[in-house]
Amino acid sequence: MGLQGSPITENDLKTVFARKLIIMSGEKDIDPNDTSLANFPAAEAQGKTRFERAKFYFDIAQKQAEKLHIPIMWEYHIVPAIGHSEAGMAGPSAEALFNDI
């Protein structure tokens, strides 16, 4: 899981982790029966919902950065009361980008 089998090098990770990345997850994006959500075993191992998968992705990156003693500039934000909604995420996303929360 994670970067296993990936061609990404430690130097690549230094570059990627040094960039600001904001991962935002809607608190209510928790429908495991969403037909647009990948449901093959490798995807489900990362979480049953988009909310779980976003947190998993961020946690794996943090663990890899810690393991390699690389600083990481990524942020993880939970957007309260929002499900899988572009319109619902637009305001909080703009705020995160332009107000440096």
Q: How far apart are CA 85 and CA 29, in angstroms?
A: 8
Q: How far apart are CA 11 and CA 26, in angstroms?
A: 32
> Block means of pLDDT (10 residues each) for the chain, length 101 residues?
80 96 97 94 95 97 96 97 97 88 52
pTM for the whole structure: 0.89
What pLDDT, on a 0 to 100 scale, did the predictor assign at position 79? 97
- Taking residue 97's Cβ as centre, other Cβ atoms within 10 Å add up to 11
What pLDDT, on a 0 to 100 scale, did the predictor assign at position 5? 82
Which pairs count as long-range contacts for 47-53, CB under 8 Å and 24+ apart, including other chains?
Answer: 50/25, 50/26, 50/84, 51/25, 51/26, 51/27
Query: Counting beta carbons within 10 angstroms of the beta carbon of residue 49, is it exposed (0 to 12), middle (13 to 18) or buried (19 or more)?
Result: buried
What pLDDT, on a 0 to 100 scale, did the predictor assign at position 73? 97
